[in-house]
């Protein structure tokens, strides 16, 4: 009997794709010879390819009608056992629906935030899991996987490893902490000035240098961080996604909010100090297979008490992020990397 042909839909973003890997890894583990084609945004093609879980990665730009038409046409040309929409949005659910895939698995309305999307699915899964990675695993179980999640090892191209190593060596950086002040929504971000003060404290107290990860649109945050760092001389690193992966894998730890680099670091095995506020770490915290909300030896999650979870986007840090002090985060970094103060 031939192995089934799966269509996986997870268009973005960085952290969300990382949280989908364990579920697709379980699918691959259960069906090692199956064809698994993955639809994603062009920006994340490299990331999905680095997991080696997909037979092919198909790039689709959902804001371009020509790309949507071509993707639907391409889906219609193949015979699929099942499509699994791990994203749960109209733009993701419509691709297998209009592509004519007969069995379409997705979340029920109890999980999906966009009203009405489950009408496009044939199988609507009501999950009782808390963390989004394990919620994704319930979709894989419905598709026939023997378990919901499995481990995955991300591959980093040698040229990216070499490029990062060369740039770090040029600045005499062998042991370092990555600071990632961005976060998509500014309401999820810890103030850049506090990152700078943390950078200075790490240099003065532990002689530990910091590397600042700068994403698109984060230049103002990087400038504010450097300005508040005194003589700590943080290295502001701009590079491609493969270089970011190499940078994260070599770090002593990363300090970041609920953002893609935090989750990517956890997937690469790097220790994390996660700064949470409006979003719930029980659902969106750093995830390691077998550790649910993260291995306690590798992940420290800080969140002010009695914070009400919200996904409202704002241009300023949420008050709960302001409740996290520099000394509190510094102590967490010390515990994370096993350093005495």
Condensed to tens digits (0 to 9), the pLDDT of residues 149-189 reads 999 999 999 999 999 999 999 999 999 999 999 977 889 99
pLDDT in tens, 200-234: 999 999 999 999 998 888 899 999 999 999 999 99
- Give the mean pLDDT of the chain: 94
Among 29-33, 59-63, 183-187, 264-268, the range scoring the smallest mean pLDDT is 183-187
Q: Provide mean pLDDT across the span 238-243.
A: 95
pLDDT score at 313: 87
Percent of the chain's residues with pLDDT above 90? 88
Residue 195 has pLDDT above 70, yes or no: yes
Residue with token string 């390819």:
49
158-170 vs 241-249: helix axis angle to the nearest 10? 60
Kindly tell me if the per-residue pLDDT of 296 is higher than 70. Answer: no
Strand ranges (DSSP E) for the chain? 5-9, 35-40, 56-59, 82-85, 104-107, 123-125, 176-180, 209-213, 235-237, 253-257, 272-276, 299-303
Which tokens belong to 321? 């992020």
User: Would you give the DSSP letter of residue 301?
Assistant: E
What's the mean pLDDT in 131-135?
A: 97
pTM: 0.94
């Amino acid at each position: 009997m031939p192995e089934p042909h799966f269509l996986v839909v997870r268009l973005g973003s960085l952290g969300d794709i990382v949280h989908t890997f364990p579920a697709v890894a379980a699918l691959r583990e259960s069906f090692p010879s199956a064809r698994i084609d993955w639809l994603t945004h062009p920006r994340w093609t490299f990331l999905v390819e680095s997991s080696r879980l997909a037979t092919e990665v198909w790039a689709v730009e959902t804001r371009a009608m020509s790309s949507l038409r071509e993707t639907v046409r391409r889906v219609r040309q193949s015979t699929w056992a099942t499509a699994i929409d791990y994203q749960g949005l109209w733009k993701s659910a419509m691709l297998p629906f209009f592509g004519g895939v007969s069995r379409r698995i997705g979340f029920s309305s109890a999980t999906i935030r966009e009203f009405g999307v489950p009408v496009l699915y044939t199988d609507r899964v009501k999950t009782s899991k808390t963390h989004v990675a394990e919620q994704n695993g319930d979709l894989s179980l419905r598709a026939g996987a023997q378990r919901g999640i499995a481990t995955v090892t991300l591959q980093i191209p040698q040229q990216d490893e070499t490029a990062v190593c060369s740039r770090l060596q040029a600045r005499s950086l062998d042991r370092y902490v990555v600071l990632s002040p961005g976060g998509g929504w500014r309401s999820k971000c810890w103030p850049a000035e506090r990152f700078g003060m943390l950078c200075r404290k790490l240099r003065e107290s532990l002689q530990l240098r910091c590397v600042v990860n700068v994403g698109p649109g984060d230049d103002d945050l990087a400038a504010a961080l450097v300005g508040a760092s005194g003589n700590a001389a943080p290295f502001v690193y701009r590079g491609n996604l493969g270089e970011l992966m190499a940078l994260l894998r070599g770090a002593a730890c990363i300090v970041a909010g609920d953002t893609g680099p935090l989750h990517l670091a956890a997937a690469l095995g790097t220790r994390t100090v996660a700064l949470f506020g409006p979003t719930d770490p029980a659902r969106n915290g750093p995830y390691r297979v077998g550790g649910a909300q993260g291995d306690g030896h590798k992940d420290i999650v800080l969140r002010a008490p009695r914070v009400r979870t919200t996904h409202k986007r704002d241009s300023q840090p949420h008050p709960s992020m302001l409740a996290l002090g520099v000394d509190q985060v510094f102590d967490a970094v010390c515990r994370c990397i096993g350093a005495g103060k």
